[in-house]
Amino acid sequence: MVVGDFSKEAETIVIGSGPGGYVAAIRAAQLGQKVIIIEKENIGGVCLNVGCIPSKALISAGKDFSKTKQDNPFGITYGETTIDFKQLQTWKRDKVVATLTKGVQALLGKNKVQIVKGEAYFTGPNSLHVMQEEGSMGETYSFKNCIVATGSRPIEIPTFKFNDNVLDSTGLLNLEEQPKSLIIIGGGYIGMELAGAYQNLGTEVTVLEGAERVLAGFEKDLVKPVVKKLEEKGMKIITNAKASGYTEANGLVAVSYEVDGKTETISAEKVAVVVGRRPNTDELSLELAGVEVGERGLIPVNEVGQTNVPHIYAIGDIVAGPALAHKASYEAKIAAEAISGVPGVAVDYQVIPTVCFTSPEIATVGMTVNDAKEKGIDVNKATFRFPANGRALSMNESEGFVRLVSDKATGRLLGAQLVGPEVSELIGEITLAIENLLTAEDLVLTIHNHPSLSETFMDAAEVLLGQGIHQ
- Quick: pLDDT tens for 393-435: 999 999 999 999 999 999 999 999 999 999 999 999 999 999 9
Helix, strand, coil % in the chain, rounded to nearest 5: 35, 25, 40
CATH of the domain at 437: 3.30.390.30
Cβ neighbourhood burial of 202 (10 Å; 0-12, 13-18, 19+): middle
Q: What is the DSSP string of 103-153?
A: HHHHHHHHTTPEEEESEEEEEETTEEEEE-STT---EEEEEEEEEE---EE
The arithmetic mean of pLDDT across residues 170-185, rounded, is 97
**For residues 460 and 471, what is the distance between their CA atoms, to the nearest angstrom?**
9
Whether residue 14 sits in one domain with residue 127: yes
Whether residue 362 sits in one domain with residue 304: no
What confidence score (pLDDT) does residue 87 get? 97
Whether residue 13 sits in one domain with residue 136: yes
Q: Note down the domain range covering 185.
A: 166-275
Whether residue 44 sits in one domain with residue 122: yes
109 annotated as a binding-site residue:
no
- Quick: pLDDT tens for 268-298: 999 999 999 999 999 999 999 999 999 899 9
Q: What is the DSSP string of 284-332?
A: S-HHHHT----GGGPPP--TTSB-SSTTEEE-GGGSSS---HHHHHHHH
Asked if 451 contacts 394 with a C-beta cutoff of 8 angstroms, the reply is: yes
257 annotated as a binding-site residue:
no
- The dihedral over CA atoms of 30, 34, 40, 42, expressed in degrees to the nearest 10, equals 30
Whether residue 314 sits in one domain with residue 269: no
Which of 311, 339, 367 is where one domain is finished?
339
What confidence score (pLDDT) does residue 397 get? 96
Q: For all residues of the chain together, what is the average pLDDT?
A: 96
- Quick: pLDDT tens for 117-148: 999 999 999 999 999 876 677 899 999 999 99
Which of 339, 368, 386 is where one domain is finished?
339
1 annotated as a binding-site residue:
no
What confidence score (pLDDT) does residue 169 get? 97
What confidence score (pLDDT) does residue 106 get? 97
| Distant-in-sequence, close-in-space partners of 1: CB < 8 Å, separation ≥ 6 | 116, 117, 118, 132
Q: What is the pTM of this model?
A: 0.95
- Quick: pLDDT tens for 377-394: 999 999 999 999 999 999
Catalytic residue ranges: 450
Question: Considering the domain boundaries, does residue 393 fall inside one?
Answer: yes
163 pLDDT exceeds 60? yes
Closest among 191, 207, 154 to 357, alpha carbons compared: 191
Whether residue 178 sits in one domain with residue 77: no
3 pLDDT exceeds 80? no
Question: Considering the domain boundaries, does residue 344 fall inside one?
Answer: no
209 annotated as a binding-site residue:
yes
Q: Which one-letter DSSP state was computed for residue 465?
A: T
- Quick: pLDDT tens for 195-237: 999 999 999 999 999 999 999 999 999 999 999 999 999 999 9
Question: Considering the domain boundaries, does residue 160 fall inside one?
Answer: no
Count Cα atoms within 13 angstroms, Cβ side, for 381.
17
Give the C-alpha distances (Å, rounded to integers) separating 54 from 1, 350, 412.
Answer: 26, 29, 37
CATH of the domain at 36: 3.50.50.60
**For residues 131 and 154, what is the distance between their CA atoms, to the nearest angstrom?**
23
